[in-house]
Structure 1
Amino acid sequence: METYYCDYIDVKPLGSFTTIFFAKQKFGEVDPNFIRQFGDELPSQWKIMDYRFEHHVVTYNKDEVHPLVTDGWKDMRDVFDLHQNEVIEFAYHGQGLFGIMASRRFESEDQIPDYHSRSVSRGNSVRFQVELTRDNMSNPYLSIWNAFEIYVRNSNLNVITACCDNGTKTEMQVAKQDNPFWMTALGPGWFGFCRKNGFRAGDQLCFNFSLVNCGNNVVRVFKI
């Protein structure tokens, strides 16, 4: 028997999460708290439906650290008639079925959930900007300075996991040196990291650390 989302509208969902459909972002970000709660039962393919009974299948990357909706995400704009940038609330009904409970045009940064890489909510994230040059891209390590360096050292980070918009996840060592001169850098493999993520000289990169989970060494890296 065909299943329509109207069959579930009056049924209390098992869970929910809110995300943002950004036209310039390749994949959709999923709330890690939702994944921690339901990750064991989530299949790699999700069926998404709306109140008009339109339905669409997307792929979940099954990654608890960097959870994303990948294949089919960009197509949602046409299937569900979304604005270029839209806030979407998903209801989860089990067995990989999600319903769009609500959607509204994205208008201000305070609509972005705290977990999201583009969140600028004070107290929940800290962001640092790095300009790529031919010199710092060609090195195996990226030297970091000022507030970025202080944050990494004060957080006692020895390894960071850099997650990017295209779904890659890269572990980089934090190299620290005090003598004969003070130095902090990320690597090795910095050049390869830039190359596989399509970063080029002249790009401005944002390194966004979440402060929601204490001791979190995961950083989202994306072009501004």
Structure 2
Amino acid sequence: MSRYQFSIIHLQDEVVGFVDRAFAILYDDDLERQWTLRDEEGNRHVVTYNKNLQKPMLIGGWTELRHIYELHDFHTIYFGYVGDSCFHITIFPSKCKPLSIARFLKRIEADQPLFNGPKLHFFIFLNPNQCNASHLDLPADFGNYLRQGRFKYIFLYGPRKIVKCKLLLRNHPKKSSKIGSGWKEFCTAHGFHQTIDLVFEVDHMKSNQNVKVLTYCNF
């Protein structure tokens, strides 16, 4: 079974494939520069990954893939990650609908980093209860980062919406860090209702209340 699933829309006349940023960050330690792709008939292809977390792309072998499958227009390619830089792919021969293309291009733009320079990433694997809750408990390292700025609020920059959220930072009787009001609005705006992986990207140089939230994309 695939460990992570995402889609890339083959863009007409583009010589690269744009990789899902959340996936690239989540599996950075696992991913090599050479990826092995196998289609539903067992055909094997090798492509080159640029290993750039700011703008992850498939840069080598992408043009050859286009020629093999005769992709001359806008087509969806489904990637299922199975580990060790190996993927199962499904290529849909029918042309993508304009709405899907627009969403994909908008998502590429929305997933761009908020900051230049080094970044920190915190991972939270949401369960359905957390998606529907009024608050989100944060890992200790993420909470400590936010405490440095002494913020009362943070801004979550999601793919669909930016939401101002209240921070609940307590030291007594037990140290805890939570995202309070605004969290449920953020989840609702993005349709989170089941288990999902989230990447919280922040400025590594100094504590910042602007937080990019990344997750997988399918179109």
Higher relative CO (Cα under 8 Å, sequence separation at least 6) belongs to 2
Length-normalised TM-score, structure 1? 0.48
Length-normalised TM-score, structure 2? 0.49
